[in-house]
Structure 1
Amino acid sequence: MSTPDHPLQPLQVSYVDDPRVVKEAATEDYTTHVVPLSWRSNKKSLSMSWYSLVSGMFYLVTAATLAAVVGTVDTLIGIVLACLAFGGLGFIFSSYAAKTGLTVALVSQRLFGASGSIVAPLILAATSIYYAVFESSMIAHAFHAYIGGIDIRIWYAIAVAMNLPLVMGGIRRWMDKYNAALLPVYWGGLILVIVLAATHADTSAWLAHTPEEATSLAAPGWLYAFFIYLGVLVLMMFTMDFARFGKPRDTKVNGVVTFGPVFYFFVYLANGLIGIFIAYSAGLAGGVSSTAIVEFIVTLMGGWGLFLVWVTQARINTANFYVASTNMEALWTRLFRARLPRAWAVLICGAITYLIMLTDVLNYVLVALAWQGAFIASWVGIMLVHILFSSRGDKNGLPEVRPGRLARFTLGSWIWIGSSLLGALLYQFGGPFGATWSTPLTLTLASVLYAAAFKAQTRSAILRRRNDPRDEVDDIWEARIRCHACDHSYIAAEMDRDPSVPGQPPICSACAGLSRRYLNACKHEDATLSFSATEHDHLPV
């Protein structure tokens, strides 16, 4: 603490990137730090990394399954609504991420507190791993069906292992180049599948397809289809972790093309039309499944079909494993207060994915995804309200995310947990109504509660602190300050003073989160200042 015997230690400031930090960022991608402007990607590079999510059997199967349940017309209406909703959300979330340079794990600290936010990277890592299980299983089954020869468990291992090296280097090293090369292969392959499928069967009535039997859905068919797509709100969390690499000057282009309506036109509408067409031409109207569509493509095209399936799944798995590993790294740091190199985080995520594939617990995975979907819908609702209500940020146009300046838990954390549990229980025990309406009701409930408690949430979230290094530099985005704990220099936007050390030397956000002494000293300083303020309030006038 600063005293006459221990004056504030002067900052060591520079205006160029620390070469040691740049070397680490080649693999770490500033996972536990604010992304500086010097590490942002151009529009093309960022879009190619993000568009890895365009390809995936999940989108084809979802649309084909919905068409079998509610008909093609209602499915397409639901898809168009989903494109509009997700396109708008994608613009908002990507703009905020580019403005702040924050990951889901970091921004959640502002929403739920330094300790309450730990659930966010846990849920995002788990959800990404579940999607990787799904996509990797498709690759393995395609190879096993076409080539055979070895046990399916070995094909599982091969399917997982093929993706891991591609995400070791982060977004700027491999992902953009790899996905840019394979994107034409994906669309060209699907067009070829359509041409061959059209000659395989009579497809003249595929747009007019209606379900063979009416199903109790607790909503009109088109609304039911829209709600099913709304269950993939985890894409907003993915958006935060990718869009933080966007340059502020590219916000509009990235918001519309990369993360907004144009992206969802391809990922939902284009893929949906293709999925419905393939399922109809394959005669799968009553029994659509991912393996059935994969087998049809391989049967139709032979070895080229196998290659297309591999391209489809390998591209989307780069995104799945990237998000899983970065959030595993953040989670590990928070749980064990020790740094986990990202290469190890990738390997851990790959091992977990493989083990889940071996246990054949897909039914349990689907239940887990449904419960996690409630937490994700609630997170998206709270985050959306926070973005709209705090356009000026807490200080310097940014939300306060430094661990020593935030409470352990906030009012927002209880809103998040409460609304999520209600949504999960509604899904689990609400019958057809709960299964259909749980996601939109959870999203709405969390948004309304957080909006009502926004002012109280802000007061409870931020601690009283002295001596902010942001006030000691002229530009918090350009000035780099050396951290006394790791001896690396990071932008002033994430730096704090450490009151647990005489002279309060500067400390970076990552090191701050690892130090119990720092966190306890910050809490003590807040209590002291709060007590002094209370005493002052009661002085006689």
Structure 2
Amino acid sequence: MRRQRRRRVSTKLVEINDSKYRGGNDSDQMGRWSLFMAWYGVASALFFVYIGAALAVAYGTVNALIGLGLTIVVYGAFNQILSKHAINNRTTVALFSRSILGTSGSAIATIIFALVAIYYAVFEGSIVAFAFQTYFGGESWMWSLIVVIYSTPLVFGGARRFIDKLNGWLLPIYIGGLVAAVIWAATLYGTSDAWLTNAGSLPELPFASGGPGWLATFAAYMGVWIMMMFTIDYAALGKRSDAKFHQTNTFGWVFYVLAYGVSAVAGIFLTFTIPGLVASETGVAGGLVGMMGLLGLIFVFVSQTRINTANYYLGSSNLQTFGERVFKLKLPYGAWLIVTAVIIYLLMLLPIVQYILLALAWQGVLVTAWVAIAVTHIVLDKG
């Protein structure tokens, strides 16, 4: 009884401490289109081009597209729930985790979020370094250092300022570059129906082994449910008056049609059209630079700079929250950003790209469990 009473008191204190984040006027939040463009910066990750192509190569194009369609539906539905809650309550992953998991549980969720964001920063940064090395030559460690040096200052000043500086003009460049790459490949190498009729390199899997192919594709995209945690941190910046708009257009199915759907279709087409292109993110980047030259390099640079500003910010801010909560380290945000940048650079020196599928499997288990708890909590609490 005493333990239950203590737990109720602890939960009540958490709710009282978090209530201040539910207050405030919309005037101190990001505008509708500023947040829209900020979030759509995430759509520029070449990872989304790669993962669609890799799954089509493995399970066949039809299976990949079916699994992709189901993924978009589920992502859209879940993110409508999560984004509405984050906007109305002005809550981040750290605050929300504290409400549903307690102080200790929230620390675990925060460090998972920080490490995954850092991993993606390493991964996407390695792609830019590889593209520079492909075009100019030189050592990989040098280009990795250059990528970290120019990426870090873009995050100083917080999310509201740096994303506004970049996203208004970089998104059209990314979309235009992706369309140009498809047209360029079709013009240079011709077209066929091979990218649509591809049956996959793996035999049809039984249900007990994770199949059929469309289900295996859907499961693979569950490894990227970290996007739902990203959604909460970004949605917390939105105005309550814009909640319905953001639920559908910013964080809902519209975004995933572009980020997952269009990118995957482009990736599948490029993989089966450009001779010798390997379905890996470095392979896609190398293929684009090899085919388009300087324009391909600019496209890779722009697209990954967009996504990496988000990765750096989310990684450093959640690392700061974890450090303050667990180790009581009260350092300025700039110090945590520098620590994050150093970690990213050191990891970029490792062959990190080789471990993407293993990393997706592990983070899929952890993040999917968190999302399931979060959505269940919101739905039951509302009921």
TM-score (norm 2): 0.89
Q: Which has the higher contact order (CA 8 A, sep 6+)?
A: 2
Q: Find out whether 1:117 has 2:91 as its counterpart.
A: no
Over 3 Å counting, the alpha-carbon distance change for 1:197 and 1:362 in structure 2 is closer
CA distance in 2, matches of 1:210, 1:197: 22
Q: CA RMSD in A?
A: 1.9
Over 3 Å counting, the alpha-carbon distance change for 1:284 and 1:94 in structure 2 is farther
Q: Which residue does 1:92 correspond to in 2?
A: 81
The alpha-carbon deviation at position 363 of structure 1 amounts to 4.7
Q: Which residue does 1:138 correspond to in 2?
A: 127
Post-superposition Cα deviations, 1:359-390, rounded to whole Å, max 9, x if no partner, equal: 33555565454323212111100000100011
Q: Which residue does 1:343 correspond to in 2?
A: 334
2:249 to 257, 260, 276: 257
Post-superposition Cα deviations, 1:250-290, rounded to whole Å, max 9, x if no partner, equal: 111000000001000100101111111111111357x4111
Secondary structure, in 3 states, of the residue corresponding to 2:382? coil
1:332 to 317, 323, 336: 323
Q: Which residue does 1:291 correspond to in 2?
A: 282
1:80 to 58, 69, 82: 69
Post-superposition Cα deviations, 1:409-462, rounded to whole Å, max 9, x if no partner, equal: xxxxxxxxxxxxxxxxxxxxxxxxxxxxxxxxxxxxxxxxxxxxxxxxxxxxxx
Over 3 Å counting, the alpha-carbon distance change for 1:242 and 1:304 in structure 2 is same
Q: Find out whether 1:321 has 2:299 as its counterpart.
A: no
Over 3 Å counting, the alpha-carbon distance change for 1:271 and 1:364 in structure 2 is closer
Give runs of aligned pairs for residues 494-509 of structure 1, distance below 5 A: none
Over 3 Å counting, the alpha-carbon distance change for 1:265 and 1:248 in structure 2 is same
* Preserved CA contact (<8 Å) 2:46 2:281: yes
CA distance in 2, matches of 1:203, 1:365: 30
CA distance in 2, matches of 1:204, 1:189: 22
The alpha-carbon deviation at position 230 of structure 1 amounts to 1.7
Q: Which residue does 1:413 correspond to in 2?
A: none
* Preserved CA contact (<8 Å) 1:35 1:102: no
Report the AA paired with residue 380 of structure 1.
V
Q: Find out whether 1:65 has 2:54 as its counterpart.
A: yes
Q: Which residue does 2:8 correspond to in 1?
A: none
Post-superposition Cα deviations, 1:49-97, rounded to whole Å, max 9, x if no partner, equal: 1111100110011011111111111111111111111011111110000
CA distance in 2, matches of 1:245, 1:34: 12
Q: Which moved more, 1:287-296 or 1:51-60?
A: 287-296
Report the AA paired with residue 42 of structure 2.
L
* Preserved CA contact (<8 Å) 1:36 1:101: no
Give runs of aligned pairs for residues 347-358 of structure 1, distance below 5 A: 347-358=338-349
Q: Which residue does 2:300 correspond to in 1?
A: 309
CA distance in 2, matches of 1:101, 1:213: 45
CA distance in 2, matches of 1:384, 1:331: 23
Q: Which residue does 1:45 correspond to in 2?
A: 34
Over 3 Å counting, the alpha-carbon distance change for 1:336 and 1:192 in structure 2 is same
Q: Which moved more, 1:88-97 or 1:194-203?
A: 194-203
Post-superposition Cα deviations, 1:495-539, rounded to whole Å, max 9, x if no partner, equal: xxxxxxxxxxxxxxxxxxxxxxxxxxxxxxxxxxxxxxxxxxxxx
Which stretches in structure 1 are left out of the alignment for 5+ residues?
A: 1-29, 393-541
CA distance in 1, matches of 2:341, 2:97: 25
CA distance in 1, matches of 2:366, 2:133: 36
TM-score (norm 1): 0.64
Q: Which residue does 1:166 correspond to in 2?
A: 154
Which stretches in structure 2 are left out of the alignment for 5+ residues?
A: 1-17
Post-superposition Cα deviations, 1:164-203, rounded to whole Å, max 9, x if no partner, equal: 1111122221212311211111111111111110022232
The alpha-carbon deviation at position 357 of structure 1 amounts to 1.1
Over 3 Å counting, the alpha-carbon distance change for 1:340 and 1:34 in structure 2 is farther
Report the AA paired with residue 385 of structure 1.
T
Over 3 Å counting, the alpha-carbon distance change for 1:315 and 1:35 in structure 2 is farther
Q: Find out whether 1:187 has 2:178 as its counterpart.
A: no
Post-superposition Cα deviations, 1:286-309, rounded to whole Å, max 9, x if no partner, equal: x41112211111111111110000
Q: Which residue does 2:43 correspond to in 1?
A: 54
Give runs of aligned pairs for residues 90-489 of structure 1, distance below 5 A: 90-148=79-137, 150-205=138-193, 206-214=195-203, 216=205, 218-284=210-276, 287-363=278-354, 366-391=357-382
Which is higher, the Rg of structure 1 or of structure 2?
1
* Preserved CA contact (<8 Å) 1:130 1:365: no
CA distance in 1, matches of 2:174, 2:365: 32
Q: Which residue does 1:403 correspond to in 2?
A: none
* Preserved CA contact (<8 Å) 1:127 1:369: no
CA distance in 2, matches of 1:250, 1:312: 27
* Preserved CA contact (<8 Å) 2:89 2:236: yes
Report the AA paired with residue 255 of structure 1.
Q
Q: Which residue does 1:406 correspond to in 2?
A: none
CA distance in 2, matches of 1:213, 1:268: 22
Identity of aligned residues (%): 40
Report the AA paired with residue 203 of structure 1.
T
Q: Which residue does 1:4 correspond to in 2?
A: none
CA distance in 1, matches of 2:38, 2:257: 17
How many residues were matched structurally? 360
The alpha-carbon deviation at position 356 of structure 1 amounts to 0.7
CA distance in 1, matches of 2:203, 2:283: 23
CA distance in 2, matches of 1:180, 1:229: 28
Over 3 Å counting, the alpha-carbon distance change for 1:361 and 1:74 in structure 2 is closer
CA distance in 2, matches of 1:67, 1:364: 19
Q: Which residue does 2:12 correspond to in 1?
A: none
CA distance in 2, matches of 1:343, 1:153: 24
The alpha-carbon deviation at position 204 of structure 1 amounts to 2.0
